[in-house]
Structure 1
Amino acid sequence: MGKPLQDRHVLVTGAGSGIGAAIAHRLAQDGALLTLAGRRAEPLEALAAELGVACAIAVSGFDVTAPEAIATGLERARARFGAVSILVNNAGEAPSASFEKTSLDLWSKVLAVDLTGVFQVTQAVLPDLKAHGLGARIISIASTAGLTGYAYVSAYCAAKHGVIGLTRALALELARSGITVNAVCPGFTDTPIIARSIETIMQKTGRSAEEALAEFTRANPQGRLVAPEEVADSVAWLASPGASAVTGQAIAIAGGEIMAG
């Protein structure tokens, strides 16, 4: 039996670690050819070597806020694997600050990476996706912060709400093209970002690692962090032929924290 994504060219932004790396591993299992895009060369090249040079290329210097960097990265990706037929917008950041201490620079940076970056990369890849037609996919990694509110991450919440709005609008525009457009919304996930946040809480408050971790798990009815591989499995399903009728959705992967009404 063939693999569902055999020889499909997938571009994953922010692929160097955490959720992005888990997505790359999962889609490689399904036969995809992967462009691993991100800003830092070392983790991308290590991941490409791990996956195998026959099915993965590392494209560093891929800054989603810079149109020139996006264009250069896409040129390298297409030269290796041809046109992109599945786009996974995963690049993002989530700095924490109270609203009163959120400077315009911080606000602008978060929206540039987490929202405008999704717009810019999607617009750059869209000609490839439209040429592919039926079976092409746009999958954006949003967050439960795009479905509800959290204190001290107002810029991140605003950006992720924007990603979900963009997803829904674009899904309608492309509904007859064969391209589906969806967002995956993880809750707090076991990634290096959370590990650093736990360290910060411990340093600032003197709490134990277990007490700091509880700050992130208490919102999840299952009482745990989401595993990156669980997010990757959802992406793999949305990328598969079996999800052809699923578009315009924001799917929460959060242990029941968010339930659709």
Structure 2
Amino acid sequence: MRGLNGKVVVITGGGGGIGSATCRRFAEEGARVVVADIDGEAAERVVDGIKSRGGEAIVMVVDLTDYAATGSGVARIEAEFGPIEILVNNAGWDLFIPFLKSEPDYWTKIIDINLRSVLNITKPVLASMVARGKGGRVVSLGSDAGRGGSAGESVYSACKAGVIALSKTLAREHARHGVTFNTVCPGVTETAMLESFMAAAGDKEKLRAAFTKAVPLGRLGRPDDLPGAILFLASDEAAFITGQVISVSGGLTMHG
């Protein structure tokens, strides 16, 4: 896609399923990839894979729930690797718990990982983009749970709805700076997070069958289904698109 070659892109949660698939696709387009993850070993594996194919990538080990540490990490990356031109907010975590059985400690963890982390890294990256005056791209991973709600995911759904609203608001605030903000919402996708979610919910195979039956295209999502939409929104092909939400869900969620 146009406009990705040579760009510095940070992908949070880059060591996981969707994150690692996205890192690899950016590298294939010639982007210089920063694999940001709290799990350094997972991030290293992704970087090693990219380098083995001739791509350029580095690891950023960071706890995104720590604002100061995240800001320091962004400053280090920009000093050592170059200005961040694309940010993909992908890091996330969930656990199936009905709301009345959940406790404040759980709420805090869900909010910190799924919403506060987006705030913590978006602010320093955006400030740098605005200061340089050359625009930029921010693509955040929401969730169809944030668009339509999802039983057993009340706080997670609220966080993802917040990510969508944040992206739309920042799209309005920073259109004049040439920074676009868009959100990609996965549907039910085969990741480690889904496995843990289904394990907590009960009968995994029964739940998997129910999820699959609900998807018009007849299967669950795969990590490789997501990078196409993410890269498009980060590319020059989407230069006139901002404040939008795209579901990649096999038709599970349809919005007019």
Q: Tell me, yes or no, if the aligned pair for 1:186 and 1:254 is still in contact at 8 Å.
A: yes
Letter in 2 for 1:59: M
Alignment partner of 1:11 is 2:10 = yes
Q: 1:77 to 1:158 in 2, by over 3 A?
A: same
Instruction: Answer yes or no: is the 8 Å Cα contact 1:10–1:32 preserved in 2.
Output: yes
Amino acid paired to 2:74 = L
From the superposition, tell whether residues 132 and 188 of structure 1 become closer, same or farther in structure 2 (CA, over 3 Å).
farther
* Partner of residue 59, structure 1: 60
Query: In the alignment, is residue 24 of structure 1 matched against residue 23 of structure 2?
Result: yes
> What is the Cα deviation at residue 199 of structure 1?
4.8
Q: SS where residue 223 of structure 1 aligns?
A: coil
Seq. identity, %: 38
The DSSP-based 3-state class of the residue aligned with 2:138 is strand
**How much does 1:80 deviate?**
2.7
Task: Determine if the alignment matches structure 1 residue 218 to structure 2 residue 213.
Answer: yes
Cα distance change of structure 1 residues 199 and 115 upon mapping to structure 2, 3 Å threshold: closer
Structure-1 separation of matches of 2:199 and 2:150:
20
RMSD of aligned alpha carbons: 1.8
TM-score of the superposed pair, with normalisation by structure 2: 0.93
1:53-202 aligned at under 5 Å gives the runs: 55-60=56-61, 62-199=62-199
Which segments of 5 or more consecutive residues in structure 1 lack a partner in the other structure?
none
> What does residue 36 of structure 1 align with?
35
The answer to whether the aligner puts 1:239 opposite 2:238 as a matched pair is no
Residue of structure 2 equivalent to 1:250: 245
Deviation, structure 1 residue 196: 3.4
Tell me how far apart the structure 2 counterparts of residues 5 and 99 of structure 1 sit (CA, whole Å).
42
CA 1:129–1:218: 2 relative to 1, 3 Å: farther
User: C-alpha distance in 1, partners of 2:145/2:243?
Assistant: 17
Aligned residues: 254
Equivalent AA in structure 2 for residue 26 of structure 1: R
Q: Distance in 2 between matches of 1:190 and 1:153?
A: 17
For residue 92 of structure 1, report the CA deviation from its aligned partner: 0.8
State the secondary structure of the residue aligned to 1:87.
Answer: strand
Contact map agreement 1:84 1:125 (CA 8 A) in 2: yes
Specify the SS of the correspondent of 1:129: helix
Segments of structure 2 that go 5 or more residues without pairing to the other structure are none
**CA distance, structure 1, for counterparts of residue 176 and residue 28 of structure 2:** 29
**Distance in 2 separating the partners of 1:63 and 1:83:** 20
In the TM superposition, residue 135 of structure 1 has moved relative to its aligned partner by 5.0
Counterpart residue type for residue 172 of structure 2 = L
Q: CA deviation at 1:219?
A: 2.6
- What is the alpha-carbon distance in structure 2 between the residues aligned to residue 219 and residue 113 of structure 1? 28
* Contact 1:129/1:137 (8 A) holds in 2: no
